[in-house]
Structure 1
Amino acid sequence: MQISIQKYLKLTKERHTSIEDEQHMQHLKHEAALMSKKIELLQNFYRKLLGHNLGTCSMEELQSIGEQLERSLKNIRSRKAQLFQEDIEKLQTKEKFLLEENERLCEEIGLKQRHTQEKVGQQEIGSCSRSTECSEVVTELFIGPPTTKKIS
């Protein structure tokens, strides 16, 4: 009797499990079909955004697509402006650093070079006639990569 009851319980459990598995499989098939339809709709929308298959669109659909493209273009331009602003700020920071580094290097070189440049500047000013103004400016611009100090 015990063996019969165990066989019965085992069979009913297997049937119950197989029914659950079958229901689960049906649910998964249904979800797969829904996802397939969604993918197809998204692909059609994507094609329309690219300008393909527009012959079947109504005026309202075309208007909606145009509005979506305008919003997308606005977002793209905004992001582009943000990136440009960030680049400008980085370059301004780099410019400030390089100017400070250039000033430090000029001080490091010493007054000897400054005196030489001042003499050259005075000779140029002296060569200007009194009736005209001299518009030449002597700068201490250094072009090149900054040097870094090694910290021990």
Structure 2
Amino acid sequence: MGRGRVELKRIENKINRQVTFSKRRAGLLKKAHEISVLCDAEVSLIVFSHKGKLFEYSSESCMEKVLERYERYSYAERQLIAPDSSHVNAQTNWSMEYSRLKAKIELLEKNQRHYLGEDLESMSLKELQNLEQQLDIALKHIRSRKNQLMYESLNHLQRKEKDIQEENSMLTKQIKERESILRTQQNQWEQQNRSHDISPPQQHQHQHPYMISHQSPFLNMGGLYQGEDTNGDEEEQS
């Protein structure tokens, strides 16, 4: 016995309404995914529950691209329908721009909360898996960039170390050359000092007899006595 046709009206029972919403929502998201894959169509689906929770699906990586395309298409259609109503079109454009920016801000705020791990109760299992995949991809990019910076920093330090080693080698070579020059100069100075320190042969000094007589008083002792005797004889004679 086949199941009868369900009358399309609001389900009064709160629990049955919630169960039906969950089942129909899952089926709707599944059908949207199937038509996007089978027919290569660009599909976006937005559903708000009676409590205000958002459920969405997009065949693209970002819902914003589909919404912007829809707005451009809708604007072009309205321009073709009423090309002369410029004033009305301007007001409509401002209203659309305001709505678009407001929706974009709300979407960005919601994504930011999701990336921070907040407000995850309204997300389905598939949405959580997509969020996890996006975070994994972001972490891979972050790690790749970090590894690249660390590799560049390591190469810079290695080049700096090599430059310092080359500079040290050059300074060591200069020091050795200066030490060699100083040793050579010192050896030359020592050789010159040795040649100047050789004393000439001692020469005999010729002394004057008068100097010898003053230096040796004993040689004039006889003369002094003779002088004293002469003076004594002169006194006796006088």
The TM-score with structure 2 as length reference comes to: 0.38
Q: Distance in 1 between matches of 2:158 and 2:171?
A: 20
> Among residues 116, 121, 127, which one is paired with 1:50 in the alignment?
116
Superposition deviation, residue 35 in structure 1: 1.5
Superposition deviation, residue 111 in structure 1: 4.7
Q: Distance in 2 between matches of 1:93 and 1:21?
A: 67
Matched residue type, 1:98: I
- 1:76 and 2:142 equivalent? yes
**How many residues align structurally?**
96
Matched residue type, 1:30: M
> Among residues 98, 101, 107, which one is paired with 2:173 in the alignment?
107
Superposition deviation, residue 56 in structure 1: 1.4
- RMSD between aligned residues: 1.8
User: Partner residue of 1:37?
Assistant: 103
Q: Distance in 1 between matches of 2:173 and 2:179?
A: 10
The TM-score with structure 1 as length reference comes to: 0.58
The one-character-per-residue Cα deviations of 1:60-115 (angstroms, maximum 9, x if unpaired) are 1111111111000010000000001101111111111111101111112225669x
Aligned to 1:110, the other structure's residue is in SS state helix
**Unpaired segments of 5 or more residues in structure 1?**
1-18, 115-152
Q: Rg: which structure is higher? A: 2
Q: Distance in 2 between matches of 1:100 and 1:112?
A: 18
Percent identity, aligned pairs only, is 38
Q: Distance in 1 between matches of 2:138 and 2:150?
A: 18
Runs ≥4 residues deviating over 4 A: 111-114
Superposition deviation, residue 22 in structure 1: 4.4
